[in-house]
Amino acid sequence: MASLPSDRRLADLCLDWQVERSKLSALVLSLANLQRDWHVPEAAEERSDAAALRLQSFYTGIERCFVQIVRVLNGGPPDGADWHRRLLERMGMSTELRHVMRHLYAYELERDQVLRLLQRALELWPAVDQQLKVFEAWLMELSS
């Protein structure tokens, strides 16, 4: 059976998670503001582009949390070219957002699709945030 990481590594991971969760919370607030103004005609295309960029940041922040976990607890993320997909699958997350945001140019974005993903991210955030808090509490307990 593998040994647990040092208390210091666990405490560092906990601190990293607090920082990441704070950034994600601010990002979700900015997504909610974009959703609130979604149907305002002025700057609609720019709002869609901003939402897509922030959605990519949202996905990347969640992925960064998962990478932090596997680095500290498992020694590193999965190997291979498809490691992102495999990491998300192992963590029980959908790869839909990552695929859409990473494989389109801004001029190819469809506003309806961006809005759907924006709404989905806002729906998912409370559960994701709660799970991050639960894991953070477990880490704190483990490191004490």
pLDDT per position as a tens digit, 110-131: 888 889 989 999 998 999 899 8
Q: Which of 42, 67, 58, 61 is nearest to 114 (CA)?
A: 58
Please give the pLDDT value at position 1. Answer: 46
Contact indicator for 54, 31 with CB cutoff of 8 Å: yes
Write the CB contacts of 135 (distance below 8 Å, at least 6 apart in sequence): 17, 69
* Prediction pTM value: 0.80
Please give the pLDDT value at position 2. Answer: 59
- pLDDT under 50 in the chain at which residues? 1
Please give the pLDDT value at position 140. Answer: 81
Where are the chain's structural domains?
Answer: 7-143
Query: In this structure, what is the dihedral angle of CA atoms 21, 52, 95, 23, given to the nearest 10 degrees?
Result: -10
